[in-house]
């Protein structure tokens, strides 16, 4: 089975807010910008207030804060409608129906703040490549739906060889890309077979930008390769493995699988 067999028995620890971790990430991104030429264009400005944790008691008097901090803009992402995605099929043989009690592997749409759910970004390679990037994105979806019997493409994002980033499965839906650990894991697939070839420089830059944005937007803690979770696969390939520390460090994420947490139950507690 490929789907997530996690138990949904506990609430994840809260990790919202503009924590020290985030401030470190922002600082780290700023420092890294000097060493990666393309990164300078990534940095934009966003009001600090948008990320302030409302639950945190306000100190009196409030500390002096900069009005704005350098953060990361959302990278350009080709939406499903533009690459010709098929609609999810909820009759799919290996991902049938919707998540509920007794249907733990059904299509799960996360409720509430995604920052409380996502922890880890999981990096994959596609192995296949067809003609160009959009054709490859469609081919991956076809493979997942027609051959593996899933409801939709399993990954949340695709990163093409030419640096085009594609919207995959909706981000508020649990992915199907890392057996046993799908809950709270964002799936990002880089196109290519990195056992045999190396990722393209523009592809790495686009992926780095995407991962940095996801790390900040979702307050992620970890980055892992697919094979770090599932030792039956070499995904994302040895030539991508060489870049994993860079991808993690640039987004101030820890490398590895320790960030995984099962989901809390989605069901309401019975009254009686
Ligand atoms: Zn993989």
**DSSP assignment of 179-230:** TT--TTEEEEEESS-TTTS---HHHHHHHHHHHHHHHHHHT--EEEEHHHH-
At the fourth CATH level, the homologous superfamily of domain 20-88+95-255 is Peptidoglycan recognition protein-like (3.40.80.10)
Task: Please report the pLDDT score of residue 38 as a whole number.
Answer: 39
H or E element that contains 83: helix 80-83
First to last CA, the chain: 35
How remote is the CA of residue 49 from the centroid of ligand 1, in Å?
A: 37
Task: Please report the pLDDT score of residue 72 as a whole number.
Answer: 76
Q: Which residues of the chain carry a pLDDT beneath 70?
A: 1-71, 264-272
Between CA 182 and CA 159 the distance in angstroms is 19
Task: Please report the pLDDT score of residue 71 as a whole number.
Answer: 64
Q: What token pair was written down for 145?
A: 């739906």
Between CA 124 and CA 104 the distance in angstroms is 24
Inter-residue contact 233 to 180 (CB < 8 Å): no
| Extents of the domains making up the chain | 20-88+95-255
How remote is the CA of residue 126 from the centroid of ligand 1, in Å?
A: 7
How remote is the CA of residue 177 from the centroid of ligand 1, in Å?
A: 6
How remote is the CA of residue 79 from the centroid of ligand 1, in Å?
A: 22
How remote is the CA of residue 1 from the centroid of ligand 1, in Å?
A: 14
How remote is the CA of residue 229 from the centroid of ligand 1, in Å?
A: 10
How remote is the CA of residue 256 from the centroid of ligand 1, in Å?
A: 15
Task: Please report the pLDDT score of residue 263 as a whole number.
Answer: 76
């Amino acid at each position: 089975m490929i789907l997530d067999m996690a138990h949904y028995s506990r609430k994840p620890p809260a990790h919202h807010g503009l924590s020290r971790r985030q401030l470190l990430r922002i600082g780290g991104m700023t420092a890294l910008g000097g060493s990666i030429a393309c990164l300078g264009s990534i940095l934009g400005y966003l009001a600090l207030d948008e990320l302030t944790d409302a639950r945190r008691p306000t100190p009196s008097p409030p500390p002096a804060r900069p009005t704005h901090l350098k953060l990361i803009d959302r990278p350009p992402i080709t939406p499903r409608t533009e690459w010709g995605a098929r609609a999810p099929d909820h009759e799919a043989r290996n991902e049938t129906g919707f998540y509920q009690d007794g249907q733990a592997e059904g299509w799960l749409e996360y409720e509430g703040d995604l920052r409380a759910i996502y922890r880890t970004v999981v990096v994959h390679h596609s192995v296949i490549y067809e003609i160009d990037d959009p054709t490859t994105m469609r081919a991956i979806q076809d493979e997942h739906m027609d051959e593996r019997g899933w409801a939709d493409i399993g990954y949340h994002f695709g990163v093409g060889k030419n640096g085009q980033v594609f919207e995959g499965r909706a981000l508020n839906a649990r992915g199907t890309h890392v057996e046993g650990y799908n809950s709270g894991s964002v799936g990002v697939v880089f196109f290519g077979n990195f056992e045999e070839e190396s990722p393209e420089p523009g592809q790495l830059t686009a992926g780095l930008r995407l991962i940095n944005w996801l790390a900040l937007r979702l307050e992620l803690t970890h980055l892992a390769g697919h094979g770090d979770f599932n030792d039956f696969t070499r995904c994302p390939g040895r030539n991508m493995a060489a870049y994993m520390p860079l991808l993690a460090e640039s987004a101030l994420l820890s490398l590895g699988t320790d960030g995984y947490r099962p989901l809390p139950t989605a069901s309401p507690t019975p009254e009686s």
